Amino acid sequence: MGSIKDNVLTLETLNPNVIELEYAVRGPIVIRATELERKIAAGETLPFKKVVKANIGDCHATGQQPITFIRQVLALCTYPSLMDSAAFPSDVKAKAKRILDNCKGQSVGSYSDSCGLSVVREDVAAYISARDGFPSDPNNIILSTGASDGIKSILLLLLTGKGGSDRAGIMIPIPQYPLYSAVISEFGAYPIPYYLDESDSWSLKLSELERAIGEARPHCKPRAIVVINPGNPTGSVLKKENIQEIIRFARKEKLFLLADEVYQHNVYAEGAQFFSFKQVLMEMGEPYDTMELASFMSASKGYMGECGFRGGYAEVINLLPEVRAHYYKSISAKLCPPVIGQAVIDCVVNPPVPGDPSFELFQKEKDFVLAQLKEKATLVTKLFNSIEGISCNEVIGAMYAFPRIYLPEKAIQAAKVAGQSPDSFYCFALLEETGICTVPGSGFRQAPGSFHFRTTILPQVEELTQVLTKFKEFHLNFLAKYK
């Protein structure tokens, strides 16, 4: 390794946007959790026998079993010789053959078109049409490397290429999924935070949107608004009336709509219902149905949890033809999303139907996963609200709880001495004493003066019960220590 003076890249010459970029769900606490796992594997004695990574929505890593139908289709797609096996149902073989016939050389190892396999885009469009009651055009479907890549591709289009007060401003909810603040930093754009109302089940108030954009105008050119529904990290689900308000606001302020809808299958509370922005936009009619909208979906969440295959899609509507041409051009520079991930998406949007050989098992497995998540959502909400010094809105949807913790002043001062935010100080202590890895609320941003943490509800019910018991004991001891 050469001396610093020989290096092109130093902290002084590194892109400052990269230095500013942070991604909390894989941040310092997670790095420490991995170190502790290595210590346990090496035989060191710690206060716990296992690290529980509740920091990220990685379903299969926490014990959720894959959906048989999806994995059978993938098996045939990756090893077509299995088509002759009697172990695979006929509808699985038909699905795999349809996908392979659309691949160049009939192999998922070949590149697809930059926008994805045509048959998968057709199936996504059919799924959206059936879901919303309004037609979807396959030409508006862009398959992507998870939802994250699709989101970045749209944000890239919205940049102004200028600095200072001419930078693109992107409205993001607070608390937010850290992808957005990270990408905004990476792209040198300007974040426009709008705060969700924790006192009203994390609802979104029109007055708050107006405050946020008004304060941001001297600093940027507002270009878009991001909405996460169902909410991450909040576990909230927007009502249709709330979505209508957001759409009206976006039209009034001439903002591009980005709807992050990756948790659309994850709605648990009685009376709650997922409404897509596309559906509401179309129901509202003129002039709203001609607004620019990109909505995103992923194979990583829902009941599937297939994070590692990186399957996702965006439906992008109402772009001008000349803009769409440049959008396709920018996507083509990435060649194509993983073809095997595209196959997963096809299984999600075009699953077995009644009468198919795989339907009964598929439906049973899907219902089991969602029922377990609903049970765990209730369990987590009740437990947190039963503990002194914690309040937690009902986990209505998604896969997370975002409880508020009321920390003693002595703990806040101890955090200051340690050079940490109070919620980071709390989460580090939780990890070191119990092995439970969560993410401090500051990583998602939060209302000034409030402290939170995000935890998944993904561990299996028995393990989650044990985790919550350990958490309660830790929390009460923490309060006693710093009272």
> Of all residues in the chain, what percent carry a pLDDT higher than 70?
95
Can you give the pLDDT at residue 6? 75
Can you give the pLDDT at residue 10? 67
Q: 112 with 132: CB under 8 angstroms?
A: no
Rounded CA-CA distance 340/108 in Å is: 6
Can you give the pLDDT at residue 346? 97
Can you give the pLDDT at residue 221? 95
The pair of structure tokens assigned to 99 is 């996908």
Q: Which burial class, exposed, middle or buried, applies to 198 when counting CB atoms under 10 A from its CB (0-12, 13-18, 19+)?
A: buried
Residue appearing with tokens 């998604």: 398
Mean pLDDT to the nearest integer, 31-40: 88
Mean pLDDT to the nearest integer, 384-402: 91
If DSSP states are collapsed to H, E and C, what string results for the chain?
A: CCCHHHCCCCCCCCCHHHHHCCCHHHCHHHHHHHHHHHHHHCCCCCCCCCCEECCCCCCHHHCCCCCHHHHHHHHHHHCHHHHHCCCCCHHHHHHHHHHHHCCHHHCCCCCCCCCCCHHHHHHHHHHHHHHHCCCCCHHHEEEEEHHHHHHHHHHHHHCCCCCHHHCEEEEEEECCCHHHHHHHHHHCCEEEEEECEHHHCCECCHHHHHHHHHHHHHHCEEEEEEEECCCCCCCCCCCHHHHHHHHHHHHHCCCEEEEECCCCCCECCCCCCCCCHHHHHHHHCCCHHHCCEEEEEECCCCCCCCHHHCEEEEEEECCCHHHHHHHHHHHHCCCCCCHHHHHHHHHHHCCCCCCCCCHHHHHHHHHHHHHHHHHHHHHHHHHHHCCCCEECCCCCECCEECCEECCCHHHHHHHHHHCCCHHHHHHHHHHHHHCEECEEHHHCCCCCCCCEEEEECCCCHHHHHHHHHHHHHHHHHHHHHHC
Q: Which burial class, exposed, middle or buried, applies to 388 when counting CB atoms under 10 A from its CB (0-12, 13-18, 19+)?
A: exposed
The pair of structure tokens assigned to 181 is 């603040």
Residue 114 — pLDDT band, cuts 50, 70, 90? confident
Greatest mean pLDDT range, 210-224, 299-313, 407-421: 210-224
Rounded CA-CA distance 295/151 in Å is: 9
Q: 480 with 408: CB under 8 angstroms?
A: no
Rounded CA-CA distance 146/143 in Å is: 8
Can you give the pLDDT at residue 13? 67
Query: Where is pLDDT greater, at 287 or 64?
Result: 287
- Closest Cα partner for 226 from 194, 259, 179? 259
Residue 117 — pLDDT band, cuts 50, 70, 90? very high
Residue 393 — pLDDT band, cuts 50, 70, 90? very high
Rounded CA-CA distance 383/404 in Å is: 13
Give pLDDT tens digits for 282-312.
999 999 999 999 999 999 998 998 888 999 9
Residue 15 — pLDDT band, cuts 50, 70, 90? low
Q: Which burial class, exposed, middle or buried, applies to 205 when counting CB atoms under 10 A from its CB (0-12, 13-18, 19+)?
A: middle
pLDDT greater than 90 at residue 358: yes
Using CA atoms in the order 116, 351, 365, 344, what is the torsion angle rounded to 10 degrees?
-10
One-letter amino acid at 13 equals T
Give pLDDT tens digits for 134-179.
999 999 999 999 888 999 999 999 988 888 999 999 999 998 888 8
pLDDT greater than 70 at residue 1: no
**23-32, 136-145, 212-221: range with lowest mean pLDDT:** 23-32
Can you give the pLDDT at residue 227? 96
Rounded CA-CA distance 84/284 in Å is: 51
Can you give the pLDDT at residue 140? 96
**Average predicted confidence (pLDDT) for the chain:** 90
pLDDT greater than 80 at residue 56: no
The pair of structure tokens assigned to 226 is 């991001």
Rounded CA-CA distance 175/149 in Å is: 21
**42-46, 341-345, 405-409: range with lowest mean pLDDT:** 42-46
CB atoms within 10 A of CB 249: 18
Can you give the pLDDT at residue 335? 86
Can you give the pLDDT at residue 362? 97
CB atoms within 10 A of CB 460: 14
pLDDT greater than 60 at residue 354: yes
Can you give the pLDDT at residue 9? 67
